Structure formats: C-alpha cells, structure tokens
A and B are shown apart, each in its own frame.
Chain A
Amino acid sequence: MELKSNAPLIDAQHPIATAWERHRFNMKLVNPANKRKYSVIVVGTGLAGASAAATLAELGYNIKAFCFQDSPRRAHSIAAQGGINAAKDYPGDGDSVFRLFYDTVKGGDYRSREANVYRLAQLSLNIIDQAVGQGVPLAREYGGLLSNRSFGGAQVSRTFYARGQTGQQLLLGAYQALARQIEANKVEMHVRTEMMDLIVIDGRARGIVSRNLVTGALEAHIADAVVLASGGYGNVYFLSTNAMASNGSAAWRAYRRGALFANPCYTQIHPTCIPVHGEHQSKLTLMSESLRNDGRVWVPKKAEDCGKNPNTIPEEDRDYYLERKYPSFGNLVPRDVASRNAKMVCDEGRGVGATKLGVYLDFSDAINRLGKHVVEERYGNLFEMYERITDEDPYKTPMRIFPAVHYTMGGLWVDYNLQSNIPGLFVLGEANFSDHGANRLGASALMQGLADGYFVIPYTLGHYLATATVDKALPKIAEDHEAVVATLDEVKARVDQLMSIGGSRTPDSFHKELGKIMWEHVGMGRTEAGLKTALELIPKLRAEFYKDLKVVGAAESLNITLEKAARVADFLELAELMARDALNRAESCGGHFREESQTEEGEAKRDDEQFSYVAAWAFKGADEAPELHKEALTFDHVKLTQRSYK
C-alpha cells in the first residue's frame, strides 16, 4: 500500500507558508443547507473531540458525541498543567511561526511530517484568539495583556497558561462550546458510553458499536463519518500519568478494522513525575514541566550521599547534571533528554529516595532569588499536590521526581487531512500520530488537540463528505444492514467471552504484569534482546488472560471489572505491536531509545538513511504478523542534524 500524505504541493513556487491556505481553497465545501443532512460521530470529548464536535455542530452538521466519563468535561486533557504553545511572539523575543515549526520538528527528532507541523504552528495563533474569545482565563500581566512562560525544548517564551491548570481551562472552553451545541440540539451527547468497535461498510467508516456503561446495552450508531479523538495508550504500562480509564481500545478496534497504526513505539516518558512508592500504587502523578523553569535538577555527586537529608549536602557535592551537560538549555532540555539523563544517574547508583529511583528538583535558589510568594504564585497548586501525595514540603525539602510514561506520539496513521487510510475515519489529537514525531515538546499536546478539532477537521471533513456524495459513496445505511449486525454480533461475542472465562485472576493483575513487562523491556531504554523477550512474554500473558481471567457480575449492568477487562484485552494486543515496532526501529530517536544506537556521549543517535519513515502497521489477522507500510519523510525546510541542546 502506498501511503499518500495528501499534503499540498510544496516547492520553490509553492511555499510551505501558503500550503494550508492553498489546500483549504482547493477543498470542496458543503453548502450550508446540506450540512444538516449529514451526521458525524465523534468519539472522545477531550480537547480534540470536544472542539471538533462543537465546531462541526456550529457549522450545521448533526453530531453524536461519545465519552466514557460521566461528563464530557472530565476527559483527561483536563489534567494538562503547564501550558499551550503559540507563536504569537507577544514577548518579542524572536519567536515566529517558522521557529515554532522548526522547534517542533527538531524536538520530535525529525520524525514528523513537515507540512503538518507547519500548519500546526500557523494555527497556534488562532487557538489563543479562540480560547480568549470563549472566556478562557489565561494568565495576564498587570497591563492586562497575556502572559507567557518558557518551556522545555525552546529558547523563547511562547507558552500561554492558566496557573497550573491550562488543560482544564482550555477543555472547559471547548466543553462550554460543546454544551452550547447540545443546548441547540446539534449534538446528541452520549456519556458513560464506550466505543467497542468501528463499523466499516464498502471500505468506509460508517459508524460505531458502543456499550452503555450503565445498562451494558450494546448499540450500533450509524453516521456519514467517524471522528476518533480517543486519546493515547500510555496506560499500556499500567503505571502512567494517564487517567485510570484512559485506554487504547477505540484506536485499536479501528486498527483491527483496517486502519494503520503508525509509530506505536514512540512513547513519551515525562521527566518530572512523583516517584513510585509502593505496590499498591495505581497511577503516577505528573508535576508540570513548567517547574523546570525555576527548579534545578540535581543528584549527589557521590552515591554514599544519596541517603542523606538533601539540605545537608553542600553545594560542591551536588551534581546539577543537566546544567553541566547541556549548558545552553540547562534544565529546559526536551523531555526525552531530561528523562534519559535521570535514568542514567539512577543507573549509576546516584538516585535518591527510598527506592533510589528519583532525582531532586530543587527550588531553594528560586525562592532566594524571587521570594517564596512568587514561587507560590507560579507553582502553589503543584506544591500542594506534591505535599498531599508525599507528605513532604517542597518549599523546605527539594522535590523528588522520576520519569513516568506520559504521552504516546504514535497513533493511528492519518494524512494531511487527518483522515486515516479508511475513508471517512478521521483521527484527531493524541489518538493520531501526526505532529510530534518521536518526541513531543511540552505544551504542544494542547496545541495539537485544539488545532485538529477547531481548525482542521471542519474543512477536511466537509471536503470528504462533499466528495463522497458526488461519488455516491454514502448511501443510507439501515440499522439491520448486514455489516452493522455482524459488527454488533462480534462485539457481543467478545463481551460474552470475557464474561465466561471463569478463571482466577483479576483484570488488574494482568494489567500490572503487562505494565512491568513493558516498563522493563519497552520502556526508557530498549534493546534488541529485551524487545525479543517482550515479544515472547506478551503473547504468553495474553494466552493466560484468555484462560484465567475472572470477571464477576453481569454484562447487562454497570460492571467496572468488565470495562477494565475489555480495555486490558486490547492493551495485551497493542503492547505486542509496540514491541514489534520498537524492534523494527533499530535507531534511537526522541522517546524511542535503542541502547545499541547512541553517540559516544550517550545521546540518541538517529539513522536517517534507514529510518526516516513513518512505520505504519496493518492488521493481518489475530494470529498473523502485522504488515509494515512506510511513509517516507522528507525534510526541505528543516536541516537534519544530530539534535543538540548543549
């Protein structure tokens, strides 16, 4: 299969700066009166889903939106803390659309599509305008203008924020826009409803099968197009900063129906999380990357100092290793670099805390320089959260932090229109693979989710519907269409299977075991041998799952064990694809660090000759190896270099 990005022509006469404008002009429109004849399903109501559903409804399309939470406002975008990037250059420090584009491609270690990223950088401007128009209370200066802060991977201040709750405020903005459309009867909202499968008819996405999480009812929903905005799959590691119910099932089910899964091995390990403290732990908590603006990362120079009270370790015995190794970026190196270095110092035996898996993030200098009240104003809520969880006061004792799985750059393959290889299936936000390459820069996830939902999909979806209508490719589908019935039956069979295994182990016990395999072998440092081990262990665990799973209660009711089991079942398959992709990619890039491929200084070493491509995997059957398709990546505007933050 040839993977066509469908990006507009970009050459000397057709500059990248006008690509999106030209593309928008070339796309077909649906006239206003016809829009209300179309129906669109949107799965997920995070930043991408809520903004897409609201905007499409504003345009006149009939939307059915789905979320598994009890309210669309609870999607995990809400937990994003630090901020959202935009090339507004309000501070006048030399930022521009091109610089944001450049930083993002470079930050992603040159594994993303230039045209997409350029568009993202352009749309970043509109997002801030839109959010402010909606009443999102972004931080301001005394003069009344918007405030910016700096973030990892950039040397300009381009991050807009709302205290440590930027994701919450942007999501509430999108949620409010969605609520307005629900009130206008343009969006039919299905809460506590999980997508169980994708309905594909004549090669086009035409609907989904959902499970009502309260009644257990399985239902088919038919539409003219399906938009997946179902988030990432970081929870495959069991412990991650994702929400408890975040899952990869919607994307995975689309993959099993033929959508390509791109770069599944690209996982972001976030450097500033509260370290693991015990077996009972259910999730990891992120401390915003913005803390690295004012906090200094260090470990003791000598391993024997690691058990000491950090306040008693003199300055000369501390190793501020990021400042030492990366003088120009210092503590603000990108996430992958910061995480890997934390792992390296801990591997050297210089980690701190009871588990020795932690490094200090120290605010004493900032408190001395700025005063406690300024630090409190900037990070007060994060400090409180830290204290609630660890029982330590970060104003007095340095925070202990350690990397944790946070975001997945991989996802369903999409073209420039955010359409997957299944016509009519669009994928937005973290669920797609598109813009972050092998590593996402801080404050870019919010930007991408909103760019996709507010500013890209309204055009590209319209183009699809207009074109497909001309092609007479969207006939009316009856509810008893054989493909609809067959998909429903398959979902029912899957639920029945999970209910009837009758084993002795809980879904959580499998999930924890899978997480350990993944963290050990497909985690921060990956080796060929380790990945091969994972590829042996995962299918074994999956076989065990289908022999020994225990689910109690009934399928026709609210059943939290069943919900969990279904998600874990899909993780058990997805994990294998991740390991396979990681094994295939014998280079290091961004969040994917193959220990065989590193520079003498231990930095990630890319292999552009062999791996400058998007690895898009096609499902070939439950027991068959997936097929690899490659989309070659070319770079005309960004110079490929060994990434250096020194």
Chain B
Amino acid sequence: MKITLHVWRQSDAKDKGHFEKYVHPNVSPDSSFLEMLDEVNEDLLSQNKEPIAFDNDCREGICGACGMVINGAPHGPQRLTTTCQLHMRKFKDGDEVWIEPWRAKAFPVIRDLIVDRGAMDRIIEAGGYISINTQNAQDANALPIPKPVADKAMDAATCIGCGACVAACPNAAAMLFTSAKVSHLGLLPQGQPERARRVGNMVAQMEAEGFGGCTNHGDCAEACPKGIGLEFIARMNRDFFGAMLKSPDHIPARWKRR
C-alpha cells in the first residue's frame, strides 16, 4: 500500500523544526510502523539525506523507548499498543499519516521525534522506591500479601514509562505516570513506611519539572499502552491529601530543579 507521511524534522534542540513529506509507495501490511519507518530511512540514506531519528529499542512493547504522536494519537490509532507493536495493517492504502514528537515543556525535543524524558526519571529519583539496602531482606514469604492487593500493585507497576500519557494530556500532565508508581509502592505493605513522604516528594518533583495539572480529561488512560487507569490518579490524590494532613513537611521547601 501507499502511505504519505508528514514527519516532524528538527535537527537539534535549538532548531525551529518543520514537517517534511515522504511517500512510501510500497508498504507491507505485515510490517510494523517502525519497520515502515526503517524502510523510509534506508531510502533517505540512499539519497544522502539524514534519516528520521526516533527512539526505539526492544520492539516488543515493553521497554517504553518508542513513542510518537501518529495522526494526533500517541502511539497511533490502536488501543493498548505501543508504536513498535502497531502494524501497518491498521492503515489503508493511500492514507496520510502525520508524525510528531511528544509535545511538552518537560520533554524538550532532542532531534526529530526524539525527546528528553529525563523528567520522568527524576520523578522516580525523588522517591519512587522502597529504601532497602541489598542483603537485608527477610524471607520473601514472611510477608503474605493478599492476591488482589498484589495484582492491583502489578496493574500499576506495568507502566513502561513511555510518556504517552503526558503526550496525550491536553495539559501535558504527568499525573498518570506518577500515580502509577506512587500506587504500585503505596499499595504494598513494604511501601507503607515511606508512603506519605514518597507521594509528597514525587508530586513536588513532578510539579517542578513543568508538567501541567490534571483536569480529568482521561486522554492519558486512553493513550496508555498498558491500560493504566484513572483510578491511580484518584488514589494518588488521596495519598497526597493524606500526606499533607499528616505532616506539612512532606513537600520539600525547595523543589529540586535541574
């Protein structure tokens, strides 16, 4: 099939950027979206042009590296699917496809479709862990965890940190990402001692990174390739209010800015 692409090209962070049009005359419906882009890139190289830069790695939908906004939807039109797992059979012969990078102040473009998602790592660094050193753990079965609780924690923990929620949100908010990690650890008994501190610090870092706020559109959950739901945002809000009521110290006075 023939596909016409309009791809965002931007040579570096300072460049203004623009769309360029490419036509792929012969796309196999069995190829993945990224394999289609691979072929466009090989073609560009043969014309001595620089290929389209995009993040990708595992191509199994789990590493979270890939991600682009395809016709206005992060990761494209198929639900619960990362860009690398999207296949061309979801498009029709003659389709026009617009490809843009994640757009958010907190995700500056590095080149073409590659953005800097370091803000998400910094949110985790602010408290997305259980403070246990290696060697100190008790026997794994010494702490029974009800299956529904473990399952719910796992639902939250499936987040792959791709950033689609931020890209989809009309406000470029990182609430779904942050709430997934807050909930994963906050649900488990191991996570209780730091629960209040964790949510305060992670929210503070999220705010400092310049993400927008949640206004309950729900686009984030719809775009999430792992199906993480709005319930975790509600849960994080509850945790956050609880933390604020318990102690005023849980939001650091000075947010870490980088």
Given a CB threshold of 8 Å, the question of whether A touches B is answered with yes
Residue positions of A touching B, CB distance < 8 A: 51, 54-55, 58, 69-76, 78-79, 88, 90, 126, 128-135, 137-146, 162-163, 165, 167-169, 172, 175-177, 179-180, 182-183, 189, 191, 214, 241, 243-246, 277-278, 280-283, 285-286, 384-385, 388-389, 391, 454-455, 458, 506, 508-509, 550, 552-553, 557-561
In contact, B125 and A165 (Cβ under 8 angstroms): no
Q: How far is the CB of B252 from chain A (nearest CB, A)?
A: 12
In contact, B116 and A129 (Cβ under 8 angstroms): no
With beta carbons under 8 angstroms apart, the residue of B117, B129, B184, B185 that contacts A71 is B117
Q: Per-residue CB proximity of B42-67 to A under 8 Å, as 1/0?
A: 10011011110101111111111100
With beta carbons under 8 angstroms apart, the residue of A69, A135, A167, A282 that contacts B35 is A282
With beta carbons under 8 angstroms apart, the residue of A140, A179, A558 that contacts B114 is A558
A74-B63, A454-B134 known; A144 vs B89 contact (CB < 8 Å) = no
- Report how far A560 CA is from B41 CA in the complex, Å: 10
Given A74-B65, A78-B64, A142-B146: 5 more A-B contacts, CB < 8 Å: A58-B134, A74-B57, A146-B141, A180-B129, A182-B125
Q: Which residue of B lies closest to A88 (CB)?
A: B140
In contact, A282 and B51 (Cβ under 8 angstroms): no
A71-B117, A162-B154 known; A243 vs B58 contact (CB < 8 Å) = yes
A-B contact count (CB 8 A): 232
Q: How far is the CB of A626 from chain B (nearest CB, A)?
A: 31
B12 at the interface (CB under 8 A from A): yes
Q: Which residue of A lies closest to B64 (CB)?
A: A74
B81 at the interface (CB under 8 A from A): yes
With beta carbons under 8 angstroms apart, the residue of B28, B110, B144, B190 that contacts A134 is B190
A137-B150, A550-B45 known; A389 vs B85 contact (CB < 8 Å) = yes
B145 at the interface (CB under 8 A from A): yes
In contact, B146 and A133 (Cβ under 8 angstroms): no
- Report how far A58 CA is from B151 CA in the complex, Å: 30
A70-B117, A144-B146, A243-B58 known; A552 vs B45 contact (CB < 8 Å) = yes
In contact, B87 and A71 (Cβ under 8 angstroms): no
B70 at the interface (CB under 8 A from A): no
Q: How far is the CB of B188 from chain A (nearest CB, A)?
A: 5
In contact, A506 and B42 (Cβ under 8 angstroms): yes
Q: How far is the CB of B239 from chain A (nearest CB, A)?
A: 15
Segment of B155-163, B209-217, B241-249 engaged in the interface with chain A: B155-163
Q: How far is the CB of B1 from chain A (nearest CB, A)?
A: 13
In contact, A137 and B53 (Cβ under 8 angstroms): no
In contact, A137 and B157 (Cβ under 8 angstroms): yes
Residues of B within 8 A of A553 (CB): 50
A70-B117, A135-B184, A506-B42 known; A129 vs B138 contact (CB < 8 Å) = yes
In contact, B118 and A76 (Cβ under 8 angstroms): no
Q: Which residue of A lies closest to B43 (CB)?
A: A506
Q: Which residue of A lies closest to B49 (CB)?
A: A552
Residues of B within 8 A of A241 (CB): 60
With beta carbons under 8 angstroms apart, the residue of B38, B45, B62, B87 that contacts A78 is B62
Residues of B within 8 A of A191 (CB): 118, 121
Q: Which residue of A lies closest to B148 (CB)?
A: A142
- Report how far A145 CA is from B150 CA in the complex, Å: 10
In contact, A140 and B140 (Cβ under 8 angstroms): no
With most chain A CB atoms within 10 A of its CB, the pick from B38, B80, B129 is B129
Q: How far is the CB of B136 from chain A (nearest CB, A)?
A: 7
Residues of A within 8 A of B138 (CB): 129, 133
Residues of B within 8 A of A72 (CB): 121
- Report how far A140 CA is from B145 CA in the complex, Å: 8
B120 at the interface (CB under 8 A from A): yes
B179 at the interface (CB under 8 A from A): no
A177-B129, A385-B85 known; A140 vs B53 contact (CB < 8 Å) = no
Q: Which residue of A lies closest to B66 (CB)?
A: A244
B132 at the interface (CB under 8 A from A): yes
Q: Per-residue CB proximity of B108-126 to A under 8 Å, as 1/0?
A: 0011001011101100111
B253 at the interface (CB under 8 A from A): no
A177-B129, A385-B85 known; A79 vs B62 contact (CB < 8 Å) = yes
A128-B140, A133-B190, A135-B191 known; A244 vs B125 contact (CB < 8 Å) = no
Q: Which residue of B lies closest to A450 (CB)?
A: B134
A133-B136, A182-B125, A561-B51 known; A281 vs B35 contact (CB < 8 Å) = yes
- Report how far A76 CA is from B62 CA in the complex, Å: 9
A141-B147, A506-B42 known; A71 vs B110 contact (CB < 8 Å) = no
B20 at the interface (CB under 8 A from A): no
In contact, B55 and A70 (Cβ under 8 angstroms): yes
- Report how far A278 CA is from B117 CA in the complex, Å: 33
- Report how far A189 CA is from B258 CA in the complex, Å: 14
Q: Which residue of A lies closest to B39 (CB)?
A: A280
Chain A to chain B: the 9 pairs with minimum beta-carbon distance, closest first: A144-B144, A133-B137, A176-B129, A129-B137, A132-B140, A137-B154, A243-B57, A183-B125, A55-B134
Residues of B within 8 A of A146 (CB): 140-141
B208 at the interface (CB under 8 A from A): no
Q: Which residue of A lies closest to B34 (CB)?
A: A282
- Report how far A561 CA is from B49 CA in the complex, Å: 11
Residues of A within 8 A of B80 (CB): 384
Q: B residues 85-105 with Cβ under 8 Å of A?
A: 85-87, 89
Residues of B within 8 A of A76 (CB): 57-58, 63
- Report how far A141 CA is from B51 CA in the complex, Å: 50
With beta carbons under 8 angstroms apart, the residue of A71, A143, A286 that contacts B144 is A143
A135-B130, A137-B184, A385-B61 known; A282 vs B32 contact (CB < 8 Å) = yes
In contact, B63 and A558 (Cβ under 8 angstroms): no
In contact, B134 and A243 (Cβ under 8 angstroms): no
- Report how far A135 CA is from B150 CA in the complex, Å: 10
In contact, B111 and A506 (Cβ under 8 angstroms): no
